[in-house]
Chain A
Amino acid sequence: MEELINNKEELFEFLKKMIIDTLRLEDITPDEIENHAPLFKEGLGLDSIDALELVVAIEKIFNIIIEDENVGQKAFASITALGMFIQDEYQQVQAD
């Protein structure tokens, strides 16, 4: 897990696959998701119910909790933002 989290490119790739699998996005491939594009609305077009599903997946996989929309807005801004968020949270958990 640590190896994955510390390798940005691998982590981004993993997150793209996680989003596709979790939300069963059949018409989209990881390559089509841009690192900096917004995940919601104008970007990938996800909605708030999708966010609820992603939160559960992230908690299961990374043991990282996203409490609410306030945190979610930052975490789900883009793949890059989500990757950085997971890296930061993971380091904090390790430090505690």
Chain B
Amino acid sequence: MRWLETEEVVRFNEVDEWGIAWHGHYIAWFEVGRMALVRRFDLLPRQMVELGYIAPVIRLKCDFKHPAICGDSIIIRTTVIKPEIAVLTFKFEILLKKNRTLLARGETTQVLLTTAKKMIYRFSGELAKRIDKLIYYCEKK
């Protein structure tokens, strides 16, 4: 499985009263990783809309393993799981850059709706082509 890695720095406004990165921000970092990955396959939200689809998240999981502090450089790793049904499931890992300590591990699942808000049950046409490329990329070692 291939992961795409993106770097971020924990900002002052992202830490809480205890000086550690607030848990909610990890979800925003997942989004950074997801965008970096889908951009390569022309699957950015705007491009999905151009094809006639939106992809709301219907499930989110996150396990927090280790805290990050202000100024820490972090690595967001993102990949996609080959789907058995018509959903997009991304996996994420957030690591501390300096020693690759695992900070958090998470997963999101998205369904595909038409812009008229009707769920699609299978990927077809141009959408399927782009998703296939994305999955192929992530499957490779």
A residues with CB within 8 A of B: 48-49, 51-53, 55-56, 59, 65-72
The verdict on B120 contacting chain A, using a C-beta distance below 8 Å, is yes
Bound CA span A52–B58, Å: 13
Contact check, B121 vs A55: say whether CB atoms are below 8 A apart.
yes
User: Is B87 within 8 A of A69, CB to CB?
Assistant: no
Whether the Cβ atoms of A68 and B119 lie closer than 8 Å is yes
Q: Could you list which residues of chain B lie within 8 angstroms of chain A, going by C-beta atoms? A: 58, 84-87, 111, 114, 118-122, 124
Pick the residue among B85, B111, B118 that contacts A56 (CB under 8 A).
B85
Kindly name the residue among B111, B118, B121, B122 whose own CB sees the greatest number of chain A CB atoms within 10 A: B121
Pair B121/A68 contact, Cβ less than 8 Å: yes
Q: How far is the CA of A65 from the CA of B124 in the complex (A)?
A: 12
Q: Name A's interface SS.
A: helix
**Assuming A67-B124, A68-B114, is B85 touching A48 (CB within 8 A)?**
no
Q: Which residues on B sit within 8 Å (CB–CB) of A71?
A: 121
| Measured CA separation A22–B58 after assembly (Å) | 20
Closest-CB distance, B117 to chain A (whole angstroms): 9
Q: How far is the CA of A66 from the CA of B58 in the complex (A)?
A: 21
From the candidates B118, B122, B124, name the one contacting A55 in the complex (CB within 8 A).
B122
Query: Which A residues are in CB contact (< 8 Å) with B124?
Result: 67
Complex alpha-carbon distance, A67 and B84, angstroms:
15
With CB as the reference atom, state the residue of chain A lying closest to B114.
A68
Q: List the B residue with the shortest CB-CB distance to A50.
A: B85
Q: List 18 A-B contacts (CB under 8 A).
A: A49-B85, A51-B121, A52-B86, A52-B87, A52-B119, A52-B121, A55-B85, A55-B86, A56-B84, A59-B122, A66-B121, A67-B121, A67-B122, A67-B124, A68-B114, A69-B118, A69-B120, A72-B121
Is the Cβ of B122 less than 8 Å from the Cβ of A49? no
